[in-house]
Amino acid sequence: MKIPGEVVNRLTLYHFILEDLNEGDVYISSKKIAKFLEIDDSQVRKDLKYINTVGKRKLGYNAKELKKAIEEKLGFKKTRDVFIVGAGNLGSALAKYSTFKDYGMNIIAMFDTDPKKIGTIINGKEVFDITKVGHMVQKLNVDIAILTVPKEYAKGAANYLAGSGIKYIWNFTPCILDVPDNIKVWNENLIGSFLQFTNRDEVEDDKNDDGN
Amino acid sequence: MKIPGEVVNRLTLYHFILEDLNEGDVYISSKKIAKFLEIDDSQVRKDLKYINTVGKRKLGYNAKELKKAIEEKLGFKKTRDVFIVGAGNLGSALAKYSTFKDYGMNIIAMFDTDPKKIGTIINGKEVFDITKVGHMVQKLNVDIAILTVPKEYAKGAANYLAGSGIKYIWNFTPCILDVPDNIKVWNENLIGSFLQFTNRDEVEDDKNDDGN
């Protein structure tokens, strides 16, 4: 059964809650999970059906089992190698963000155009010349790139990636990339998030809902 | 009319496209916008109804007018002052991210617990002791905080924010915060994004859809 994107999003948040539970909390109820996220508990139960988990009457879900079931279903243990393109502030911050690894994301190298950055090591990841990205994609069999270059370099970097063999671009730039159809782009729209949550009075809240 | 969150998200992406147009492109069609984002053009037309914009037959939308209409509807020009709590890698990267300002987000100060960071200036923003956050919220009338502390400090920082007068927390930590109901938390779930887009074959694509 395909899992809707919003459900994947919420399952990840449930996992954060489960990670944070005290050792003594053997069971957790859908009500408790729902309260943390200020959503309806019927939503939690509906989401958890996607991972074939059923709670026990009056007790709730076994926290350890639930955590494991989410991990298996969402593939946390299936490590994915990733490149970061753009070794500036944001790229470096993401390269240093240790939580990614816990969820299966393994950053193995970075790319930039700046001769001062090329050859440096950021949190154990070497920065390579962007012109080498195609070669490295083939050599290391990587299919995911995180794009964190400044806005004005987004198109140039996307051109390098277009012919590189990369299949997924996680785009943190405020630019819409024009890449071949076989490359999937995920726009991490921070501006959109900001506008959504700060204009809440005017904006319908569907982040934690099931749709419109 | 309330605008659904997903529509706000897409309108922001349309704005990125309009920003990037050549001077000579007076009109843009819903088809062209849709092609950039690999979505259906009927979706674009539906979204643009929220900002009361109607295209001209055969020509499409006047690009400048459309851009301005999105800016007005989403409040880009209504500047919001923001604090960053956590002057580490991610907090510093966001403090240096110039695009935020173009969309109405004005970062005015940062907070941390590390004596080595307190008193330093990051991209013109002073880092203050976290214990001063309540005082500064009142003094500067700020109601939005971006939380970028390491995972293990998330709860402590949230406690400081709980009593500070902050109304919105943009949470970049992989923790679910337990704050009073009057504080709205927006979880910027990077892990969830990563899992959604890298598991695309198994996950239903609703990021660019209208819901489920």
Closest CA in chain B for residue A105: B194
Give the model's pLDDT for residue A208: 42
Give B187-207 pLDDT, tens digit per residue.
999 999 999 888 765 655 544
- What are the backbone dihedrals phi and psi of residue B28, each rounded to the nearest 5 degrees, phi first? -135, 140
Q: Residue B171: its pLDDT value, please?
A: 97
Give the pLDDT of residue A202.
60
Look at residue A89 and tell me whether its pLDDT is greater than 70: yes
Average pLDDT over residues B115-142: 97
**Domain boundaries in chain A?**
5-74, 80-192
Cβ B185 vs Cβ B173: under 8 Å: no
Nearest to B33 by CA among B89, A87, B43: B43
The pairing of beta strand A121-122 with beta strand A80-85: unpaired
Look at residue A211 in the predicted model and tell me its pLDDT.
Answer: 35
Nearest to A104 by CA among A137, A141, A144: A144
Instruction: Give residue B37's pLDDT.
Output: 93
- Could A6 and B206 be called an inter-chain contact, meaning their C-beta atoms sit closer than 8 Å? yes
Task: Please report residues of A whose CB lies closer than 8 A to that of B3.
Answer: 202-204
Q: Do A90 and B93 touch (CB under 8 A)?
A: yes
The secondary structure of chain B, three-state, reads: CCEEHHHHHHHHHHHHHHHCCCCCCCEECHHHHHHHHCCCHHHHHHHHHCCCCCCECCCEEEHHHHHHHHHHHHCCCCCEEEEEECCCHHHHHHHCCCHHHHCCEEEEEEEECCCCCCCCEECCEEEEEHHHHHHHHHHHCCCEEEECCCHHHHHHHHHHHHCCCCCEEEECCCCCCCCCCCCEEEECCHHHHHHHHHCCCCEECCCCCCCC
Pairwise CB contact (< 8 Å): A93 & B96: no
Q: Which fold has domain B5-74?
A: Arc Repressor Mutant, subunit A (1.10.10)
Contacts of residue B96 in chain A, CB cutoff 8 Å?
89
Tell whether the model's pLDDT for residue A34 goes beyond 70: yes
- Phi/psi for A178 (5° steps) reads -105, 90
Per-residue pLDDT, B108: 97
Tell me which of 3.40.640.10, 2.60.40.10, 3.40.630.10, 3.40.50.720 is the CATH number of domain A80-192: 3.40.50.720
- Give the mean pLDDT of B67-86: 92
- Asked if B206's CB is within 8 angstroms of A4's CB, the reply is yes
For the stretch A98-140, pLDDT in tens is 889 989 999 999 999 999 999 999 999 999 999 999 999 999 9
| pLDDT at residue B211 greater than cutoff 60 | no
Q: Test A194 with B99 for CB contact under 8 angstroms.
A: no
How far is it, in rounded angstroms, from Cα A199 to Cα A209? 17
Percent of chain A whose predicted confidence (pLDDT) is above 70: 93
Question: If you average pLDDT over residues A68-73, what whole number do you get?
Answer: 93
Nearest to B186 among A5, A10, A193 (CB): A193
Instruction: From chain B, pick out residues whose CB is under 8 angstroms from the CB of A205.
Output: 5
pLDDT reported for residue B203: 59
Residue B102 pLDDT more than 50?
Answer: yes
| Mean pLDDT computed over every residue of chain B | 90
